[in-house]
């Protein structure tokens, strides 16, 4: 049974390979997405180390001159997804989106190199690109000590409650007519709403109208919300980049120092009610909902006793860990994308942090639950954490990747 699933996971990765890059899933997401691609590399590394490094190289090949590695690379046009390259209008030689996504690539690269040291030269060539990207985050996104995202899509947790306050200040009423594609692939009740999409689009139009000036977007754009998730990921990525550079025998380009500086800024996202929380950087207001970004605190070595209590409550509140919102809150919505469901790839990331924080039992609970979900429902995008119902896209790249690299 497990051997069958291993073979199936490998077949999903190779089936979603479009030649040097991997799409998250056929149909719904027909391009190269940034953090999906980094997880794909981790999965490939379990059976084809060369292909793993190629995935990371293809992603970083489309870095912008300012250091940003974009959230989508549109290698070839495809009508199946909206908004496509024309809507973004970034003017890049190979079209890309105009925002980034959580920088997990250095963390994946470190694990991939540790499994096969013979690839050190390929790792060494990536270090300056990843360092330039991390510096980009600090220059273009870190405000008040933490990462502020300029668009919910930049967090990778599109419709999380974290963004509702900031989104209320975005005017989505003048975006014009458009045709969504996502809801023709998957159930609309499990996707972000039309009101959210109007605002997503308004933010894209603002960036385009301002020439995709990344610093201006952060400082003057319609939306800037401090994201604990991306902040913790960036801190971990800087730690891992320093380790990657050491293993590859090259300079770390200030990565270790960046991690220390970022750790010093974390106080601004500690909600006095006792948890890591997102905060609207335009108004200073905390979201006030314990959401999945907080579950990554251990990844950055930022656990606190209060978070241990929240972790225990969340684990006790669902059949399948880890829910993306505290399941005891009325806001918890078991099947609505990032408002409650459990995501296999995200569980792998949380578990890495738990393991490093010495929470082996909790990490194992996540691993066992995620394995049960995949055995019961297949390699889906995400799942209902109360009853295990598979949701979203099927044959998903990062779900297959973490099966191979983390679960089995």
Residue 364 CB, shortest distance to ligand 9WN, in Å, is 25
Torsion angle of alpha carbons 129, 135, 141, 144, nearest 10°? 160
CA nearest neighbour of 144 among 234, 247, 269: 269
Q: Total number of residues binding ligand 9WN (CB under 6 A)?
A: 10
22 or 271: whose CB is closer to ligand 9WN? Answer: 22
Given 153, 161, 212, 406, the residue binding ligand 9WN (CB under 6 A): 153
156 is a site residue for ligand 9WN (CB under 6 A): yes
Q: Which of positions 2-31 make contact with ligand 9WN (CB under 6 A)?
A: 24, 29
Is 152 within 8 Å of 200 (Cβ atoms)?
A: yes
Catalytic center residues:
158, 381
Is 122 within 8 Å of 50 (Cβ atoms)?
A: no
Q: Which regions of 135-216 does DSSP assign to beta strands (E)?
A: 142-143, 146-149
Residue 158 CB, shortest distance to ligand 9WN, in Å, is 4
Q: Which regions of 88-182 does DSSP assign to beta strands (E)?
A: 142-143, 146-149
Binding track over 67-106 against ligand 9WN, x by CB under 6 A: ----x-----------------------------------
H/E stretch holding 391:
strand 390-391
152 is a site residue for ligand 9WN (CB under 6 A): no
270 or 343: whose CB is closer to ligand 9WN? Answer: 343
71 or 75: whose CB is closer to ligand 9WN? Answer: 71
154 or 252: whose CB is closer to ligand 9WN? Answer: 154
Torsion angle of alpha carbons 275, 280, 283, 284, nearest 10°? 30
Residue 399 CB, shortest distance to ligand 9WN, in Å, is 10
**In 228-322, alpha helices (H):** 228-248, 255-264, 305-317
Binding track over 364-383 against ligand 9WN, x by CB under 6 A: --------------------
Buried b (16+ CB within 10 A) or exposed e, 279-294: bbbeeeebbbbbbbbb
Binding track over 28-47 against ligand 9WN, x by CB under 6 A: -x---x-xx-----------
CA nearest neighbour of 37 among 88, 92, 109: 109
- Rounded to whole angstroms, the Cα distance separating 364 from 30 reads 33
158 is a site residue for ligand 9WN (CB under 6 A): yes
Residue 355 CB, shortest distance to ligand 9WN, in Å, is 22
Residue 44 CB, shortest distance to ligand 9WN, in Å, is 17
Residue 165 CB, shortest distance to ligand 9WN, in Å, is 19
Residue 2 CB, shortest distance to ligand 9WN, in Å, is 25
Q: Which of positions 169-188 make contact with ligand 9WN (CB under 6 A)?
A: 182
Helix axes 228-248, 120-140, angle to 10 degrees: 150
Q: Which of positions 45-74 make contact with ligand 9WN (CB under 6 A)?
A: 71
Q: Which regions of 269-372 does DSSP assign to beta strands (E)?
A: 270-271, 275-276, 279-280
- In this structure, the number of other CB atoms found within 10 A of the CB of residue 121 comes to 11
35 or 406: whose CB is closer to ligand 9WN? Answer: 35
Tell me which stretch binds ligand 9WN (CB under 6 A): 6-14, 153-161, 239-247, 324-332. Answer: 153-161
- In this structure, the number of other CB atoms found within 10 A of the CB of residue 188 comes to 12
Binding interface with ligand 9WN (CB under 6 A): 24, 29, 33, 35-36, 71, 153, 156, 158, 182
């Amino acid at each position: 049974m497990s051997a069958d699933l291993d073979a199936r996971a490998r077949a999903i990765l190779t089936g979603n390979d479009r030649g040097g890059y991997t799409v998250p899933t056929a149909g719904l997401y027909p391009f190269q997405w940034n953090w999906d691609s980094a997880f794909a590399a981790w999965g490939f590394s379990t059976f084809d180390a060369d292909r793993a490094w190629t995935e990371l190289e293809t992603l970083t090949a489309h870095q912008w001159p300012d250091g940003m590695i974009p959230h989508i690379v549109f290698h070839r046009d495809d009508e199946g997804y909206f908004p496509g390259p024309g809507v973004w209008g970034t003017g890049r030689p190979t079209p890309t989106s105009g925002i980034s996504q959580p920088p997990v690539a250095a963390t994946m690269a470190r694990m991939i190199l540790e499994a096969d040291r013979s690839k050190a030269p390929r790792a060494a060539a990536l270090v300056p690109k990843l360092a330039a990207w991390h510096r980009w985050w600090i220059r273009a996104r870190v405000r008040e000590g933490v990462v502020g995202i300029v668009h919910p899509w930049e967090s990778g947790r599109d419709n999380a409650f974290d963004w509702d306050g900031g989104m209320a200040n975005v005017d989505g009423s003048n975006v014009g007519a458009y045709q969504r594609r996502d809801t023709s692939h998957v159930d609309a009740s499990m996707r972000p709403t039309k009101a959210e999409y109007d605002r997503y689009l308004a933010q894209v139009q603002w960036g385009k109208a301002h020439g995709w000036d990344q610093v201006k977007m952060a400082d003057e754009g319609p939306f800037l919300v401090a994201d604990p998730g991306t902040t913790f990921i960036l801190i971990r990525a800087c730690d891992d980049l320093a380790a990657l550079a050491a293993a590859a025998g090259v300079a770390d380009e200030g990565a270790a120092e960046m991690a220390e500086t970022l750790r010093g800024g974390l106080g601004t996202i500690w909600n006095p009610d006792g948890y890591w929380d997102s905060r609207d950087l335009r108004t200073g207001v905390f979201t006030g909902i314990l959401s999945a970004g907080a579950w990554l605190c251990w990844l950055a070595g930022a656990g606190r006793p209060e978070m241990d209590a929240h972790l225990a409550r969340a684990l006790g509140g669902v059949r399948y860990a880890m829910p993306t919102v505290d399941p005891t809150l009325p806001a918890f919505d078991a099947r609505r994308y990032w408002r409650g469901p459990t995501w296999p790839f995200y569980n792998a990331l949380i578990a890495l942090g738990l393991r490093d924080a010495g929470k082996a039992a909790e990490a194992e609970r996540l691993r066992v639950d995620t394995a049960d979900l995949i055995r019961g429902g297949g390699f889906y995008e995400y799942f209902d954490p109360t009853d295990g119902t598979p949701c979203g896209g099927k044959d998903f790249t990062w779900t297959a990747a973490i099966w191979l690299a983390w679960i089995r």
